[in-house]
Structure 1
C-alpha cells in the first residue's frame, strides 16, 4: 500500500473522523487521521498513534466483528504464524453495524503491473497457502454464490437486466452452480481478492499481501483465478497473462469452471453497477472465454 495519503472525498473524511472518534470513546486511544489510502472499493485511511507509529484504519459496513474473528482474522493469525507477509490487526472494534480495524502498515506500494518476477512470487505465495487450515473446520469455507446473491456483491439481477449477453452469462453461471457445491472443499487458505494490486513490493520484491477481510478456507488455486481477472484490468508485462492462462488451462474443468463462474459474476455485476457502460463489455469478454 502506498504510504502517501491521497485526496479525500467529503464522505471519506466524515467517515474517518467519526470512526477515530468512536475508537477514542471506546478505548481511550486518540488516533490522528492523515489521509485516505489509494485504491480499493472499501474505506481505508492512514492514521498515526500517539507514539507516532503509523497504521491503516479500515472500516467495513454491515459486518459483525465476531464473524471477522472467526474467519479472516483467524486466517491471518495462522498465516503470520507461518511467516506469511500479511498485516497484523492491532485493534478491532464494533461500531454500530460496522467493524473498525486498525492494521499494521506494511512496507511497499501496490504492484501496478505484474512482471514475470512478480508472477513467480505470487505463485510461490499461493503455493505456501496450501493445507494451512487442516483441522480448522471452525473457519468458514468460501461461498461462490452461483445460485444466490452475495452480501453486496455477486448479485444476479444486474446481469439478467443487462441485455442479451448479460442474461445469457447469468444463465450459464446458474447452470454451473446447479452442478457444483456452493462451498468448494479444501483446507487451504483462500484470500479471495488475490490480485496484483493487493501485493505490496519494494524494488520488485513482494513485501506484503493486504486486504484479507474476505479470506476463508478452501482451495488455494481459487486465488489464481482471481489473479487472472485482476490482470485483465490493464495491460501487463508481455507473456505474463499467457503463463497464468497455461496454469489455469491445466486445472480440471470441474475445478476451474465454478471458480471462473464466480469471478465472472463478481466482476460483471460490479462493473454494471459501478463502472462506465463501456467497461462492462470488457468483463463480459473475459467471462465468456471459459464459460
Structure 2
C-alpha cells in the first residue's frame, strides 16, 4: 500500500543532496547524507548530525510548516507525551514550496507480514489513540473527500471513466458522501496511513509507528480500516485477515461506511492512475466486499 507522502514523491522525487544543502542554507545545520531509506521511499533518506547520530530526512512538497505544525506534528507530539512510539521531530524548515523534516530514527524494521502477534499490538496501539486530542480541538479533522476530489488523491473522475464496475463504486461513494459529514467526527488521534509498512518491529515486538505526515483528529477506527486495506495486497495469513474483518464487522455503520468509502476511493483511484488493470481489479474486489 502506498502512503500519501510516497504518492507525492513519485511525482516529485526527493533530491536528498540538494535538500541537505538547502536545509543548511536555511537553518545553518549541516547534515551528512547517509543513503536512501529502504522500501522505495523516494521521499526519505538517512542523514547524520554533527554529533554522528542518525535521523531520517523527509520532504513533503507543496506544504507549509505552519500547517504541519498545527496538524500532523501536533498529533505526534501529543501521542509521544503519552508514551506512544512515534518519532520525535528534530528539525523543521520551509524550503521553497516544500516542508523538510528531520525526524528521530526509531529502532526496528517495517513489518513484511502481519501475524497474530503483530495484529494484537496494532490493535493495542490503536486503542491507545482514543481521546488523545480531546484537549486539542484546533487540530484539523480528517476530511473524507466523498463529495469532492482530494489534493492529488481520492479523485472521482478516474473511477467514473475507467469501467462500469469502478463507475458503480464511485456512484456508491457519492451516495455515502451525501449521507455523512465531509469531516470525520471524533477526538482521537488518527494516523491516516496505518499499515504494516509504517509499523516497525524487532523480534516480533513493535518498536514504532512512522510516517505521520497526514495525521489528523477524528475516529481512531479509521486506522483499522486502513490496516485492512494495507494487508490486502500482502501475504497475510487468512486467519489474521479474518480476525481483523471481525473487528470491522463490530463497528457501527456510521463509522464503517464512510471510512470504507474513503479508502475504496483512495486505493481504486490510485490504482487506475498508476498501476495495472489487475491491480485495479484487486482493489475493486476488496472495496466491493462492503458496498451496500
TM-score by length of 2: 0.94
Q: Who is 1:38 aligned against?
A: 38
1:67 match: 67
Between the aligned partners of 2:238 and 2:265, the Cα distance in structure 1 is 27
Structure 1 match to 2:143: 143
2:169 is aligned with 1:176? no
Structure 1, unaligned runs of 5 or more: 1-8
Please state how far the C-alpha of 1:276 moved relative to its aligned partner.
2.0
Equivalent-residue separation in structure 1 for 2:146 and 2:35 (angstroms): 37
| Structure-2 residue corresponding to 1:212 | 212
- 30-39 or 71-80, which moves further after superposition? 30-39
What is the distance in 2 between the residues matched to 1:256 and 1:22? 44
Map of 1:15 onto structure 2: 15
State the shift of 1:212 in Å.
Answer: 0.3
* Residues paired across the two proteins, number: 281
User: How big is the shift at 1:55?
Assistant: 0.4
Contact 1:144 1:183 in 2 (8 A): yes
Name the stretch that deviates more: 193-202 or 26-35: 26-35
Cα pair 2:16 2:33 within 8 Å, conserved = yes
Please give the TM-score of this superposition, normalised by the length of structure 1. 0.94
In 1, Cα distance between equivalents of 2:287 and 2:118: 24
* Structure 1 residue 253: Cα displacement: 1.4
1:88 and 2:88 aligned: yes
Residue 104 of structure 1 aligns with which residue?
104
1:51 paired residue number: 51
Please report how far the alpha carbon of residue 42 of structure 1 lies from its aligned counterpart in structure 2 after TM superposition. Answer: 5.7
Structure 2 CA distance for aligned equivalents of residues 244 and 126 of structure 1:
13
Matched with 2:245 is 245
Contact 2:131 2:189 in 1 (8 A): yes
The alpha carbon displacement at 1:123 in A equals 0.2
Q: Distance in 2 between matches of 1:96 and 1:184?
A: 31
- After superposition, the CA RMSD in angstroms is 1.4
1:39: how far off?
Answer: 2.7
> 2:5 is matched with which residue?
none
Q: Distance in 2 between matches of 1:272 and 1:194?
A: 22
CA contact (8 A) 2:36 2:42 kept: no
Partner of 1:5: none
Distance of 1:42 and 1:280 partners within structure 2: 23
User: 1:41 & 1:190 partners in 2: Cα distance?
Assistant: 21
Deviations 1:154-194 (A, max 9, x none): 11111111111111111110000000011121010000101
Secondary structure of 2:15's counterpart equals helix
Match of 2:259 in 1: 259
